Structure 1
Amino acid sequence: MEIQGPTDAGSERQEKPLLITSSLLGPPPYVLDPQDLPDSFDPFPGKIGSQFRQVDEDTLVKYGPKVSLAEAEAMDYVSQHTSIKCPKVLGAYVLNGAGHIIMSFEHDREVVIEQMQRYMSEMRSIKGDYVGGFNRSPCVAGEFQWDFYHSDHKYGPYPDEFGFNEGIMEALSRASPGSDNMDPESREYNERYAIRQLVHSLRNHEIVFTHGDLNTGNILVQDDMTVVILDWYTAGFYPAYWEWYKATWHGLFQPSFIRQVERYIPPYWLETNIMNQMFNKILG
């Protein structure tokens, strides 16, 4: 076991180690930035002390306060000395008390994706007769929430997709006070006009039950590879493209992640391109 950490030059006392690595496995190929991983927590006390997150198309990391270097060393030993199916350990370390095991994702990825495919099929088979939050509550999304925080203004629920599109345009107008009085010959006016036409080209989508925030932080994989979906705050009934847009919109994910999402959420590239333009106009 190797320990690395800063020392205080003005003190004889060595501070608490920051990084611990395995002498059997050697140094990891890289150390992940903790800011790229959701905080390790235990939503089901006594049952979960770790989380899985996808690093790239072929790599998975298991991390949390209950993840140990001994676990990684055991996995590596089993894979080298038996025929038991086990992810290949690429590296392991403990950082600030949280263990991290970086492993191959090939088999486990398929298990997770198969579950997500089933979950999405079940969810999207539930149709809605309005657009908005669950139980006919207002829309909950970044395009609208900024206004709620500032003015308590609510958007929706809407009777159909056309009404929802009008709500999006209302959010844009409220985000830019005075924009309705622009010179009709100005560039900004014509940009707004083009965006309005693009938004209203979004039509004839089914309204389906939608989680609305399926980023990696809300997809928890338990130790037995059971997938648990967290944070249903944004759930409701939205046009069929909304789930894909919200799972991929903010560009923080690697392209390989998006290719995996495409396997369990039907992709809507054109609609997402339009909504990305809207989001950037509303929130800058």
Structure 2
Amino acid sequence: MSVPAKRHHLPRPARIAGTVAAAVAASMIVVPGAHAAPAPAPGQALAAPAITRDLTESPAVAEAVVSLQATEMVYGSTGELVAAVGTVDGDPVTSGTVSFLLNGRTLSADVVDGSASVPVTTADFGSVHGYPLNTGGYWFRATYTGEGHTDAEASAKLQVSPADPALEATIAPEAVPGEAVAIEGRLTAQPDHEGQPQGSLQLVVDGEPVGDPVRVGDDGGFVTEFTAPESWQPGEHTVELTLPRHGNFNAASFALTTTVNPATSETVVRVQDAEMVYGSTGELVAAVETVDGDPVTSGTVSFLLNGRTVSADVVDGSADM
């Protein structure tokens, strides 16, 4: 009788939740940021170095654009440089700074509502010796820098034009034909402007140049005189001082006025003895005329009597009281 062969049953392995693929996939989930492999357990071989990656997103950087326009200012005055700052889409940039480079010197300003500006003064952009920008053209550059935007720059031209000079002068208020009339004064810049005009002033009387041009001093001061023409009649007369274009200042002409008074003629006062009754009202009369016998029609006569003086106007060659 044969013995049946025994069958051996191997124990069934325990069920593992999920699949190996799922477990492997779970182990590969990476949270954004920097990651490195964990340190090995004691006795465990050191694993190969893990490659780290920084998956943090960088903020977007917008492209900035600087726009400038040519500008103009008068010599010795205060000008202005203005830069518009926006994106390529036309939106205004509201932060950052713009550095303006002019005449080898730099001045910065904050960007506000898409714009930045700086004043053009002698202190900020003039010469190293403290002089204003001379007349002429100057290229200037505006450079923008700011967080969240690319750097940008642009260039434009500043034109400095000549200034009008001013004159502070006095002339003798009265002139006598045939006699000298004095003039003195000083050339200056316009109020609130810098600079000192220079050059020579030419005196013009009745439309004709008189004498040689008068050179002004370093401070613009000058003194001159002329002889009042014999042809001048009583009344106001105007003379001119002309200045040609010189350096940073325009040509100019300045008018000064003096007055010729009527000629003085010899006057004769004639009076006659007067008589009155005690206690009554008497009268004093004076006749006023020229040596040629013409009546004088203006002026006053002062009558001195008993230590007291009373005056009366001359009317038609006579005054009385």
Tell me which interval the TM-score lies in, with the shorter structure as reference length.
Answer: under 0.3
User: For the pair shown, which has the larger CA radius of gyration, 1 or 2?
Assistant: 2
Question: Comparing both chains, which one has the higher relative contact order based on Cα–Cα distances under 8 Å and sequence gaps of 6 or more?
Answer: 1
Report the TM-score, using the length of structure 2 for normalisation.
0.20
User: Which structure shows the bigger proportion of residues in helix conformation?
Assistant: 1
Report the TM-score, using the length of structure 1 for normalisation.
0.21
